[in-house]
Amino acid sequence: MATSSQHLPNGNGNGSAVRPARPELEEEDENIFLFYPNLIGYSRVVLAIASLYYMPLHPRTCSLLYSVSCLLDALDGLAARHFQQSTKFGAVLDMVTDRCTTACLLVFLGSAFPRWSIIFQMLISLDLASHYMHMYATLSMGGSDKSHKKVDESRSWVLKMYYSNNKVLFTFCALNELFFIALYLLSFSSPYLSPTLLNTPSSPSSPQPGTPASPKPSMLFTSPWSAGAMEMARANKMDSTVPWILAVISFPVMFGKQWINVVQLVKASKWLAEGDRAERRKQGLPKKSKVKKSQ
């Protein structure tokens, strides 16, 4: 009995190979960059950049754009869970956006309140260091498939509560940003924080113009882009009552958020040190040098 031609290498008998069965259509690769939560993340970046543009002289517009950018931080998480589009890229994009926008606002506050600039510099450093150490420790010690938001309670119940409860996380992040926004608004309105906002050459308590303590305006504001000219342009643009209320209400939570950053930094450092000790034991370090006995 002749064998069916489909089982022969040359089925038609004249040397031409039979075309193999058509393979199943491969599933198309998903475009992670166009996932809904990531699109929301891009809009946050655009709004943050726009707020920076208006930040020097337009407090209301800047605050509105900055606040919307921060509030969208909660929306992208909801979208990720609803559409099953949680990704590592989205998590990193979210964290980088948070760190950069907060740092940019603190940089402005450092220039608006130069006497307190070291505090804002320390806050920037603490925020960046604690989150970087925490994410690096999670990836290197917990595995590349583990999220930085999944913290074992045995390591820190504070971080466990902070990251596992979305309401707690949102409250701390929102009020932390609200405090800095309030300070930003006070830089336009409060002479208590920026006394020079109300100082004018005609005030009785000010030195006479032209003296070394009070140089001529032409010497202070030689350029419209100088720090002095920007400060004068900011003066008394709005009432300070509401910003003071917002600052007082949000300060305790902001302080708590900085304490959590310290805890996060310390716990991540200890976790990395545990891994270092285990790796050194595995390599037999420190190696004991052989001491030759004198004969």
User: φ, ψ for residue 155 (rounded to 5)?
Assistant: -85, -45
- The Cα 67–Cα 47 span in angstroms is 9
Provide the residue-wise pLDDT of the chain in tens; the chain has 295 residues. Answer: 444 444 444 545 554 555 555 555 456 789 999 999 999 999 999 999 999 999 999 999 999 999 999 999 989 989 999 999 999 999 999 999 999 999 999 999 999 898 899 999 999 999 999 999 999 998 888 776 677 778 888 888 999 999 988 899 999 999 999 999 999 999 998 767 766 665 544 444 555 544 555 555 555 566 777 777 777 788 777 888 999 999 999 999 999 999 999 999 999 999 999 999 999 999 989 887 655 555 5
Whole-Å CA distances, 73 to 54, 78, 94, 286, 293? 21, 9, 7, 47, 68
* Extents of the domains making up the chain: 32-197+229-275
pLDDT tens for 235-246 read: 777 888 999 999
Q: Which residues are catalytic, by number?
A: 98
* Cis peptide bond N-terminal to 195, omega within 30: no
Q: Which two tokens stand for residue 132?
A: 């970087």
**pLDDT given at position 222:** 63
Q: What is the pTM of this model?
A: 0.79
Which sign does the torsion angle of CA 121, 125, 69, 67 carry? negative
Residue 5: the pLDDT is 46
**CATH of 32-197+229-275 among 1.20.120, 1.10.10, 2.60.120, 3.40.50:** 1.20.120
- Express each pLDDT in 267-280 by its tens digit: 999 999 999 999 99
